[in-house]
Amino acid sequence: MPMTGPVLTRRIPTFPYGDACDRRTVGYDEFARTGGYEALARAVTMEPAAVVDMVKDSSLRGRGGAGFPCGLKWTFLPKNYEGQRYLAVNADESEPGTFKDRLILDYDPHMLLEGIAISCFACRIQTAYIYIRGEYHHQARILEKAIAEAYEKGIFGGRGLLNGAADFKVECYLHRGAGAYICGEETGLLESLEGKRGWPRIKPPFPAVKGLFGKPTIINNVETLCCVPFIVEHGVEWFKSLGCASKIGGPPSFGTKLMGVSGHVQRPGVYECDLGIPLRRLVEEYCGGMRDGKQYKAAIAGGVSMGVLGTDQFDAEMDFDIGRKYEVLGLGTACPTIFDEDTDMVMVARNIARFFKNESCGQCTPCREGSGWMYKLLCRIERGEAKLKDIDLLLELAGSMGAMPGTTICGLADGNNWAVRTIVNKFRGEFEARCRPSFVPVTVGVG
């Protein structure tokens, strides 16, 4: 029977279904006793292609930022290829304001491992690497223990999946990063896994064709892989009953989503909601409303690189259509940061630009030089030393850097320019109030 209630957090007490004070790390025995690895047992009785089709038919979209269809990505692997393949799990949760994957890593690591095992079986992948953020020291230790338990119980290793229930063997390793934001980009992650500097690669070739160590590679986010066992166990139609369809003719936003809310709210935290929940409802019902009774002013919808929702966009639906409907880059990680009426949006823009300037890998000139230039302009505006024409210069500069204008290899510059552009465009009055008028002297010659 399809399950009801929380999905990803069914073992992690979370408001409104439980008290966060009751949380504890779920080990193998408790995980198995509460239905864990049952989806893997079912998956290994199916044809691998059938598992891929299930995930593809469910319209599961990536939960790491881009929202690309997971099952479709799996089909990009070369057909009839008998050599080594890899799964790279992106646990490099370094997007500012994002902490939803950490909830899984802290309290239910075997949920991720089951998703990895099913995905490797479906895609005929022999080796999986979990690339975890360098600052996640505690989470790395929890994952190492969970992986050791999984090997001890025969989930991974030479006996085959589930102690030989399938003769397909999967090895799983944990790789700790060094704290570089750019390694959250999939090809930068692969470079780091290979022991190189985390520089994004030019595409094509894409990782599914030539990825880790030059072999076909699938890269999925932690939360994305955690959805896979539930799709296999409860079916495609059950998954489609959660979330929402697109209202503007785009791909659907099915399933639940972990949303980590921070900022000026009464009860910050991670909440599991159906995709499509209005931001206002998320704040007022789940987070207890705005802090100290102040008014909502703005929100970063899903990580700073996605841009800002304005004061009149408090009712924005948190689904994958948000970018086209509310003039932001996208849903991103769906971890909103909420700002109240006292927030200085010039300072917010300057702080975001400083972050991207520091995290640029420096490989592309427009990003390396442009991010520093944008930061200097915003510092000048914040100090009250800029002229009005500097705002137009800032917007012109932002619009000319990024992968979408075709000037950089990866999307770091896009995150920088979308954050700055949306803040300036939606709160231009605050920027103009900090600038001096621009005067062009005119001289008239007589005789």
pLDDT digits (tens, 9 = 90+) for 159-171: 889 988 888 999 9
Note if the pTM is more than 0.85. Answer: yes
Question: Helices (H) and strands (E) in the chain — how many of each?
Answer: 18, 11
Asked if 170 and 129 count as a contact pair (C-beta separation under 8 A), the reply is no
At which residue do the structure tokens 């010039």 appear? 346
pLDDT in tens, 41-58: 999 999 999 999 999 999
**What's CA 359's distance to the chain center, in Å?**
17
Rg of the chain over Cα atoms, rounded to whole angstroms, equals 23
Determine the 3-state secondary structure of 274 from DSSP.
strand
What tokens does 83 get? 């050599």
pLDDT for position 114: 97
**For all residues of the chain together, what is the average pLDDT?**
93
- If pLDDT is split at 50, 70 and 90, which confidence band does 81 have? confident
In which band, very low, low, confident or very high, does the pLDDT at 339 lie, cut at 50, 70 and 90? very high
Q: Following CA atoms 246, 66, 146, 236 in sequence, which dihedral angle do they give, to the nearest 10 degrees?
A: 30
pLDDT (average), residues 305-310: 94
DSSP state of 282: I
Contact 344, 430 (CB under 8 A): yes
Categorize the per-residue pLDDT at 404 as very low, low, confident or very high, splitting at 50, 70 and 90. confident
Question: SS3 of 395, please?
Answer: helix
Rounded to the nearest 10 degrees, the angle between the axes of helix 48-57 and helix 222-234 is 100
Q: How far is CA 97 from CA 69, 194, 345, 400, in A?
A: 24, 28, 16, 26
CB 173 within 8 A of CB 129: yes
Measured between alpha carbons, how far is 126 from 124 in angstroms, rounded to an integer?
Answer: 6
Cα 237 from Cα 160, distance rounded (Å): 30
